[in-house]
Structure 1
């Protein structure tokens, strides 16, 4: 198809659509997450008739959200007419995704299916005034929208801080030197409106959003209770998906795993304690343990990655990596004992540590975890999505569309 919207359904098809209108959101989510690659699968997953599933798919195509291939090629050795294939529309609307971290910020346009359509060049300067940073990242996103000509359905922001709900305030953005309690969602929404972009604006913790993206589109797909632990540019974060939904606690502050004590005699932590995972297993901790003086560029994360990839064979680097793996394993084991997840995924530098010595990390977790000893171990896997926090930020903006496509995409009224 050429990306143009299909004709809207009429007649008997319209009648079937009225009966299946409540299925539009669930159907879109199934296509969005790759769980309904064909109309036959969509019919079975929704529990509706084939005609109703066809009407629902046609309406989603008319909205410019999905693409229906009515003439797919049959696989070799199969019999009968193949089912219509379903996919997200290649030229459909997008969400503006923004991420701020200790070493800069980036904007991207993300379509359905978690597909990154365009990204802005990363910036490595962070102003202590959140309004300056968020204004700059929204401006970068607005340029991408002008260049691509895409429709924007909303905007999402990932920040390296817990985001308190319902206020949308960043309570501990320590590594970007923002004031405690900065109203990041309000500032971001104001900048989005000032740029003339469509749709609502959202904000969330970067690791929470990474976990959401991985659960829908990456290494966490299919897990029921998913634990994600990651270290990006500074610090360590965690997130939990329970029964398919992101768990944020009563006020958005759940899973502050960075402040688990894993070395009582360890480094002082920003929180006032000592030996927290936040300072014992992040990129700065690796560089320090390996005897390397961090440089001003590239980012600390990139410096730590390069060290592991290029110099892991050196005894001091290997010993430093082993030290971090052991600290990380202690933290993961404690979380396994409390949360009993069915899968653990690791992001940022932790993904590199897992690749460097997977058996050591799994052995530490198994030795210290009651459930791992009794059940053979929890699968520990690397995150698979590039820019997963950006994709997760976009998921926040896409959620109203997934909930109710017709209402979310309706033209604004005066």
Structure 2
């Protein structure tokens, strides 16, 4: 016979799930929280009181309309509660921001990479700026999450192929980050993950992927193409954290040379540099890459044939890649990062048509393809990574109260 859990035991076990529901906006009232957790009203009241005592949420005593006609108190994250430090490294620099629960980033700051951009120098610079940002804020920082443009193998958390950073394969990013934070006097848990995976997680929790059961996310940063799959709220990472490297999907056997050694990978056929190449232009290293691609998109919108043809060429390659992934994964929604969304906006019908024509499931019924809703999805995802210990066990992170 299974032992019966008392209400206090159930309440404590429910702290993490309850906080996650408020964090993602899935439980705006105590009534909704009660139903989502499957607990009694008394247990839900005890859980929300505990989270409020921990300084994590606010409980508005003014009742809101309940889902079953019964008034219920409003729940929200406490803006004066703890924060995490989110960091992102990309091919041309790095970014940092503090984040509160609820998926809210403070104003991000962007910095150039130090030169030479070795792993040690880059991570030292990231931690130095993170330390400054944390010290300038009165709120308690409870974690640091880092998004990197490389597959990250689990459980070791090493960079497998940091092609666009020119880091050695097998770079122990998490260990190096932990060493730098310790040297800086930051007593924080740290974690590292692939930037596309983290962007997908953030979009699923707070953006365009909310409500999706099987979300395919496709994005391009300054270079390359990344992707991720979120299934029932959890990232599909594969056996070693390396699943969904959609950038290595072959879309043109005679195409551009990829850093992986092959030709015609989505990585080099549907990123910003591919658009420049299709338009017959060389990238100007003295100017931001997206500024240069925006010019081509503006020319395409103005009807200039060369620019229009370049946009259509890259959209066709992107569509082939997405269609191939859809054939295997059968998602119920596709979300595109900022660069690909700009392509979608430039020729709104073309991408959907290519995907539908080349995808078995697309021909059965078009799968929605939509734009990412978050301004800095990768950075927001790094914050989600940093929140993981708190969402798993708030008491373990913040300690017993009173």
> What TM-score do you get using the length of structure 2 for normalisation?
0.93
Counterparts of residues 1-16 of structure 1 (less than 5 Å): none
**Structure 2 alignment gaps of length 5 or more:** 1-5
> Greater CA deviation, 193-202 or 250-259?
193-202
The answer to whether structure 1 residue 42 and structure 2 residue 37 are counterparts is: no
Q: 2: distance between equivalents of 1:262 and 1:127?
A: 34
Question: What do residues 296-342 of structure 1 show as CA deviations (whole Å, max 9, x unaligned)?
Answer: 24332342134314653221111100000000000111111100001
Counterpart-to-counterpart distance in 2, 1:193 and 1:151:
17
State the match for 2:350 in structure 1: 360
From 62, 67, 70, the counterpart of 2:58? 67
Alignment of 1:97 onto 2:86:
yes
State the alpha-carbon separation in 2 of the partners of residues 344 and 126 from structure 1.
37
Deviations 1:213-260 (A, max 9, x none): 101110111111111111110001111112221011111111111111
RMSD: 1.9
Match of residue 330 from structure 1: 320
Q: Which residue in 2 is equivalent to 1:281?
A: 270
Counterpart CA distance in 1 for 2:324 and 2:52 is 47
> Does residue 24 of structure 1 match 2:21?
no
Distance 1:173 1:126 in 2: 17
Distance 1:48 1:79 in 2: 16
Q: Distance in 2 between matches of 1:34 and 1:306?
A: 38
Q: 2 CA distance for matches of 1:253 and 1:73?
A: 44
Q: Does 1:225 align with 2:205?
A: no
Compared CA separation, residues 72 and 120, structure 1 to 2 (3 A): farther
Equivalent residue for 2:49, pick from 48, 52, 58: 58
Question: Residues 340-351 of structure 1: matches in 2 within 5 Å?
Answer: 340-351=330-341
> Which consecutive residues of structure 1, in runs of 5 or more, have no partner in the other structure?
1-14
Change in CA separation of 1:151 and 1:82 when aligned onto 2, cut-off 3 Å = same
Q: 1:62 to 1:255 in 2, by over 3 A?
A: same
Partner of 1:12: none
User: Cα offset for 1:117?
Assistant: 2.3
Matched with 2:308 is: 318
Correspondence for 1:136 among 99, 116, 125: 125
Distance (whole Å) between structure 1 residues aligned to residue 232 and residue 69 of structure 2: 37
Q: Of 234, 237, 249, which residue of structure 1 is paired with 2:226?
A: 237
* 8 A Cα contact 1:337 1:370, kept in partner: yes
**Pair 1:173 & 2:162 matched:** yes
Could you tell me the TM-score, scaled by structure 1's length?
0.91
Residues 174-233 of structure 1, C-alpha deviation per residue, up to 9 Å, x if partnerless? 111111211111111111222222331100111011001101110111111111111110
CA change 1:53–1:238 in 2 (3 A) is same
Q: For residue 83 of structure 1, what is the aligned residue in structure 2?
A: 72
Structure 1 pair 91–339 and aligned structure 2 pair: CA distance change class (3 A) = same
What are the superposed Cα offsets for residues 263-322 of structure 1, whole Å, 9 maximum, x if unpaired?
111111111111111111110110121122311243323421343146532211111000
Which residue of 250, 253, 264 maps to 1:264?
A: 253
Deviations 1:151-194 (A, max 9, x none): 11111111100011111111111111111211111111111222
2:3 equivalent in structure 1: none
Distance 1:118 1:22 in 2: 34
Tell me the residue number matched to 1:6.
none
Deviates further, 308-317 or 178-187:
308-317
CA contact (8 A) 1:98 1:138 kept: no
Q: CA deviation at 1:16?
A: 5.3
4+ residue segments displaced more than 4 Å: 15-19, 72-75, 78-81
Question: Hey, what's the Cα distance between the residues in 1 that align with 2:356 and 2:87?
Answer: 37
Q: Find the aligned partners of 2:183 and 2:399 in 1 and give their Cα distance.
A: 21
Change (3 A) 1:121 1:262: closer
- Give the match for residue 117 of structure 1: 106
**SS of structure 2 residue aligned to 1:284:** helix
> For residues 308 and 227 of structure 1, what CA distance do their matches in structure 2 show?
25
